[in-house]
Amino acid sequence: MAAAICVCGRLRRVKVDQETLDAAAANSISPAWGRIWNGPSPDGIWDLPEPAVLPWLARTCSAFSRRERVEVLALAGVVALAADAASRALYAQEIATLRALACDGLADEAFHDFTFVGLQQAVLGLDGEKVWSSELSHINGGEAELECPACESELLLCLEPGESTIEPGLSSELAERLHAEAVQAGRGFVATSLTKLFGRFTCPECRTTFNIADQVASGLAE
pLDDT of residue 167: 96
3-state SS, one letter per residue, for the chain: CCCCCCCCCCEEEECCCHHHHHHHHHCCCCCHHHHHCCCCCCCCCEEEECHHHHHHHHHHHHHCCCCCCHHHHHHHHHHHHHCCHHHHHHCHHHHHHHHHHHHHHCCCCCCCHHHHHHHHHHHHHHHCCCCHHHHCHHHHHCEEEEECCCCCCEEEEECCCCCCCCECCCCCHHHHHHHHHHHHCCCHHHHHHHHHHCCEEECCCCCCEEEHHHHHHHHHHC
Q: How far apart are CA 118 and CA 134, in angstroms?
A: 9
Structure pTM?
A: 0.91
CA 183 to chain centre: 18
Specify burial of residue 26 (Cβ count, 10 A radius: 0-12, 13-18, 19+).
Answer: exposed
pLDDT tens, N- to C-terminus, the chain (222 residues): 555 555 555 677 788 899 999 999 999 999 999 888 875 566 767 778 999 999 999 999 999 999 999 999 999 999 999 999 999 999 999 999 999 999 999 999 999 999 999 999 999 999 999 999 999 999 999 999 999 999 999 999 999 988 889 999 999 999 999 999 999 999 999 999 999 999 999 999 999 999 999 999 987 655
pLDDT on residue 7: 53
pLDDT at 41: 64
> Where are the chain's structural domains?
11-135, 138-221
pLDDT at 183: 98
